[in-house]
A = this chain, B = another copy of it.
């Protein structure tokens, strides 16, 4: 092995999640939205003046920051925009978690929290969820270098009431508490309403789920102006221009169309509630979902078997071969038609399985 090979950074080999692209497949594996983005998004691209691409984009992403600030009734110095919530969260880790004390997050949660911690050499300590996958808030009442909680949590789909989060935020006024709300639009109240009350709170959201724009890579953080300025300082200091012109303008259109946003969101919630009944009839159990997916286990058939059988039949859901959750399937809520294809298949598969 050559010297330069020895100096290559060691990382845990990671294969990006399956992104099948087959004819007639039912893709319920990556929590994408089954509906297209707001019509204004396509319009803005169709009318796009490509000459503006020769110039660097606005590093402050002013247009989109202002549109988001308006939507959430915040001021524009309370909003930070980045290339998907992964980018935003990574910058937040880098900006706020510079202490010798470990940061805290649940043992079962978004898989990138430990990855960014390792990347930036941030010590961390996971706190086990209880046997029903619920957060034990008292676990977070100890010295720490910061806290990250996904609400609703992934892949469990569970939404904790704001009062639980507020307790944690209140007990940790020396730390930054990040609430990662990728799925909150499918659940209940957002922690954004606590921003005025707690200056140590950062709320992160994304355009990838409820705004149907996973392909555009837009995420954002909201918090007190000191936090937002610190994130911008860090971002500008090492890469000023990350949001491209098309995502800035398309993002604005997506936020503007409030009626469309609510219609899609409500459709997905409606489809989810129908799925809840059907899956229950089919012998599945699952926590109550506050997300655009259901985290289900079957009373008789191992999750891995169902997962593989579905895949063989061109229906893709997500399976995690990880401790505590290796008998669960994460099933994204698609259109009513897609869910129907899933149910028809499951019905037959389960009936034959028992025989």
Interface status of A230 (Cβ within 8 A of chain B)? yes
Contacting pair B245 A54 (CB below 8 A): no
Contacting pair A53 B30 (CB below 8 A): no
Task: Provide the residues of chain B in CB contact with A131, threshold 8 Å.
Answer: none
B-binding segment of A64-72, A156-164, A236-244, A271-279: A236-244
B-binding segment of A7-15, A182-190, A312-320: A7-15
Contact with B along A209-220 (1 / 0, CB 8 A): 000111111000
CB of A334, distance to nearest CB on chain B (Å):
11
Interface status of A153 (Cβ within 8 A of chain B)? no
B-binding segment of A36-44, A301-309, A322-330, A345-353: A36-44
Can you tell how many copies of this chain the complex includes?
2
Interface status of A267 (Cβ within 8 A of chain B)? no
Cα separation A245 to B215 with both chains bound (whole Å): 5
B-binding segment of A89-97, A133-141, A255-263, A283-291: A89-97
Contacting pair B87 A239 (CB below 8 A): yes
Interface status of A282 (Cβ within 8 A of chain B)? no
Task: Provide the residues of chain B in CB contact with A340, threshold 8 Å.
Answer: none
Contacting pair A236 B16 (CB below 8 A): yes
Interface status of A34 (Cβ within 8 A of chain B)? yes
Asked if A216 meets B59 with Cβ closer than 8 Å, knowing A84-B241, A242-B83, A247-B246, the reply is: no
Asked if A175 meets B4 with Cβ closer than 8 Å, knowing A90-B238, A95-B9, A247-B244, the reply is: yes
Contacting pair B16 A60 (CB below 8 A): yes
Q: What class of interface size applies to chain A in its complex with B? A: 35 or more
Q: Which of A34, A115, A241 has the most CB of B within 10 A?
A: A241
Contacting pair B56 A37 (CB below 8 A): no
Interface status of A33 (Cβ within 8 A of chain B)? yes
Task: Provide the residues of chain B in CB contact with A173, threshold 8 Å.
Answer: 2, 4
CB of A315, distance to nearest CB on chain B (Å):
16
Contacting pair A226 B48 (CB below 8 A): no
Interface status of A52 (Cβ within 8 A of chain B)? yes
Cα separation A110 to B32 with both chains bound (whole Å): 39
Interface status of A174 (Cβ within 8 A of chain B)? yes
Cα separation A237 to B94 with both chains bound (whole Å): 16
Interface status of A45 (Cβ within 8 A of chain B)? yes
Interface status of A208 (Cβ within 8 A of chain B)? yes
Contact with B along A96-110 (1 / 0, CB 8 A): 111100000000000
CB of A230, distance to nearest CB on chain B (Å):
5
12 CB < 8 A contacts A-B? A2-B199, A4-B175, A7-B96, A7-B176, A8-B98, A16-B59, A42-B50, A56-B208, A57-B214, A116-B238, A216-B246, A217-B241
Residues in A lying within 8 Å of B, measured CB to CB: 2-5, 7-9, 11-17, 19, 27, 30, 32-37, 41-42, 45-60, 83-84, 86-87, 90, 94-99, 112, 115-116, 119, 145-146, 173-176, 199-200, 208, 212-217, 226, 230, 233-234, 236-247, 250
